[in-house]
Chain A
Amino acid sequence: MSMSTGLDSGISLTRRTLLKGAGALAGLALYLRMSPSLGAEEVRKYGADAMPGGTVDNPLVFVNIDPAGLVTITIHRPEMGQGIRTSLAMVIADELGAKWEHVRVTQAPGDEARYGNQNTDGSRSMRHFFAPMRRVGAAARMMLEAAAAAHWGVPVAEVAAGEHEVVHSNTGRRLSYGELATAAMKQPVPERARLRLKDPSEFRYIGKSNVPLIDGPDMVSGRAQYSIDVRMDGMVYAVIARPPVLGATLAKYDDSAALKVPGVLRVVALEGKPLPPRYNALGGVAVIASNTWAAMKGREALVLEWNDGDNASYDSASYRKILEAQARKPGKVVRNDGDALAVLAKSKKRIEAEYYMPHIAHATMEPPCATARFADGKCEVWAGVQSPQEARDIIAENLGIDNSRVSVNVPLLGGGFGRRSKCDFAVEAALLAKIMEGRPVKVVWTREDDLRHDYYHTVSLQHLEAALDEQGKPIAWLHRSAAPTIVSTFVANATNQSPFEVGMGAVNVPFQIPNLRVETAEVPAHTRIGWFRSVSNIPHGVATQCFVDELAAAAGRDPKDYLLELIGPPRRIDPRALSDGWNYDEAPDVYVVDTGRLRHVIELAAREARWGRELPRGRGQGIAAMYSFLTYVAAVVEVSVENGVLTIPRIDVALDCGVLVNPDRIRAQVEGSCVMAVSLATLGEITFERGRAVQGNFHEYQISRIHEAPREIYVHLVPSRFDVPLGGVGEPAVPPIAPALLNAIYAATGKRIRQLPLRDQLAT
């Protein structure tokens, strides 16, 4: 056995140990890595290399070709609507030279040692796996070429792969991929340095929108398999009554009526674990039945008594006052250029505003659901989770068995948005499967379970102040952000936002303001706080982009011109100069903040939206721009307000993510981002009373319907360039939409909306 040497492996070990104890999730890893005990900069890894499992580019892991020529590509990243099963397959198929009609995909189980990192979160899939998957395809193509050359006894330089075949140039002889498959798989895998990647001009699928959705036919015919569709012989169905307050414990329960419901087989109490919540099962009482309906009816018949515990004090109305009080007094300084406080104190023109955003719930259309079977000391799980290896590790820990005895299969996810990064529901299925040993157990969450036991998007209060000079330009900027931190879900009593949260749109504002100070406020968490698509960029985006609009109005300037002026001339900024040591965990010298690209998307969106054109009364345009997930996005939202009723005739979004791998899916992500952002800006709110989430179903927690969604969405993609690193796509289009919408409402009505959701604030 060899000992690894060097600081690097020592630190990796430390981190791994810490992570195992703390829940092993990427965001916390990022949090911990920022702490001084781990922070030796010279050994810090970035990007995919910093993720557990890193990357794997072995074609034998990802590509199988059968003698009939059918290419089966293994997709290791879960599919949650981003189209990754299509897009990663496109990348491999393109470099491989495969005909698309001969390409199939299969979904990998959770196994990062084999496949590389699978944590599908943070808009990372294509950012981290475009290059490795190109290498996979190129290596497989070269193995086919080598096999053909060997077969003909000619130098490999004389053969070339074409479309699903290899051709010998001198003689015109051809061998199909199917004919070569067996021999090719036995060829040595070419070294990375020897790989011949295609020139982008040779791409046939990458950058084009000529490949249909690989799951499309199954999705439109009802054949697509989600977790909730798993069916197994002898399977039973479970519905769980969970503690209504975070940390509440079961005092007593009476299951006699539940057991009389036809179909109910068994009722079992599940003990919850001590806080922090992590990804643990919440505990409660599970009703196991022969079908879902019986399990639901059985749960209704339970008589339950809880000891609510400390979090029963959580009340959204009074908590808002705590946020306000904390945001109005000095907090922890996380960025400090110049002396903003002194300039503000003596300023003649001082503007102040506060923005409130409530908790929101992910509300994936498929509620959380998982099936597990425990037999012979092994557990097999079927769960649409965003991070299947983490789910596997956490399930193993919960069952007290080695993770080699747990397998996690990943059906399609009926929406993710960060909810399915947390595998609590899969842990529940595994625990119940162990109790029901030998019988598969499917745990189904109802919508009420989902909305009342989410890992909620954080509630927040953003306090901003600025001092303007004679020309109306800000000379001082103070942003104090108060929000319970995601870290509280993993570390008891964490009360301050972490670098990865303030690094999402608060500390890293790319504005040329000489005195700029950002602080965070200490506030406790009383519920599970978690990632929601775009995360802290949402409240920080609303705050900074609406505040810029307010400053522009105070200065009597056009909002777009003012925003551009604040950003300043095109330049490349080291994110560390913006106090962003986190930088989405990407290398700061590779991923610089390029204000030229940010300016460009603003100008592009404005031009395409015909910014500033004459509009009828009651109509208005608003603009906002955000750099998030390493991608530049600007949005112009056009609104109409008639008799207090808001409609959104049009949104224009310009996006620059570097390389456009699958433009149609990028457009789809942007369109979806617009709708989700409109939804959270206008309707979404979870409130707490007596520690309990109030809203239970879609009549109370509303999300936008077709008539409330933007009527037209125009997506303007900046053409691919290969001299910049890839940015994310799934999340970065969300943050600018809500502020652009609120700014448009101001333009249309003169009314500033500083509290989300909008709901009936425009009613006259």
Chain B
Amino acid sequence: MSYTITVNGASLVLDVPGDMPLLWALRDIGGLTGTKFGCGMGLCGACTVHIDGEATRACVTPVAAVVGKQVTTIEGIGSDKVGKAVQQAWLELGVPQCGYCQPGQIMSATALLRRNPKPNDRQIDEAMSGNLCRCGTYTRIRAAIKRAADTAGSPT
């Protein structure tokens, strides 16, 4: 069956079963490999994308469920003012090690800052605890979120 979804503002036509997770549709069919596979059960956050601005785990979201909604991936988040600030803070503080989980971390952090421009530590914990990092970059992630909060100003 064919589904048309909107990813980073562009239409993507997918001739896939409706229960295929958005993750694999984006990666294998759409060629958007920035969204990562880590667990397939919504446990690690590596596949985090925005659906109508909400941080969502693409590995447990069927393609059929996102028809008519706006999907934003790591490839598109830089055109968002907050997303850009988050990416910039990540670079300034040298957050990534292996880098594999960082697209998901950045998507979660951007969603947080868009709804809460000045999160405290507890709010950062709540928003980010679904994103695992095996390299252990958490202290820099926390610092980078605060840096981005300072630079992003109020969300557009």
Contacts and interface: CB of A to CB of B under 8 A. Distances in A.
Contacts, number: 184
The residue in A80, A412, A672 that gathers the most chain B C-beta atoms within 10 A of its C-beta is A672
A367 interface: yes
Nearest to A213: B94
Interface in A191-217: 212-213, 215-217
Contact of B38 (A80, A367, A679): A367
B125 interface: yes
**From DSSP, what is the main secondary structure of chain B's interface residues?**
loop
The residue in B24, B102, B138 that gathers the most chain A C-beta atoms within 10 A of its C-beta is B138
Contacts of B138: 675, 704, 706, 709
Given A447-B44, A698-B43, A704-B136, 14 more contacts: A81-B135, A83-B97, A218-B99, A221-B78, A291-B28, A293-B21, A364-B134, A365-B135, A412-B99, A447-B40, A665-B94, A675-B135, A676-B135, A697-B43
Contacts of B67: none
Interface in B121-146: 121, 124-125, 128-142
Interface string A363-385: 11111000000000000000000
A546 B46 CA distance: 36
15 contacts: A81-B96, A81-B97, A216-B96, A219-B99, A223-B34, A225-B33, A291-B24, A365-B46, A366-B98, A414-B100, A416-B98, A671-B136, A671-B139, A672-B136, A709-B136
Nearest to B88: A220
The residue in A83, A222, A665 that gathers the most chain B C-beta atoms within 10 A of its C-beta is A222
Nearest to A86: B94
Contact of B137 (A216, A237, A293, A672): A672
B13 interface: no
Nearest to A217: B91
Interface stretch (A174-182, A226-234, A313-321): A226-234
Given A222-B35, A365-B36, A707 B129 contact: yes
A415 interface: yes
Given A221-B75, A222-B35, A367-B38, A706 B142 contact: yes
Contacts of A120: none
Contacts of A137: none
A205 to B, nearest CB: 15
Given A228-B36, A444-B37, A699 B43 contact: yes
A446 interface: yes
A216 B90 contact: yes
Contacts of B78: 221
A674 B141 contact: no
Contacts of A668: 94, 97, 137, 140
Interface of A: 79-83, 212-213, 215-226, 228-229, 231, 237, 262, 291-293, 296, 363-367, 412-417, 444, 446-447, 664-665, 668-669, 671-676, 679, 697-699, 703-707, 709-713
Given A222-B74, A447-B38, A212 B94 contact: yes
Nearest to B86: A220
Contact of A81 (B73, B98, B132, B141): B98
Contacts of A669: 97
Contact of B34 (A212, A213, A221, A231): A221
B24 A413 contact: no
A259 B99 CA distance: 36
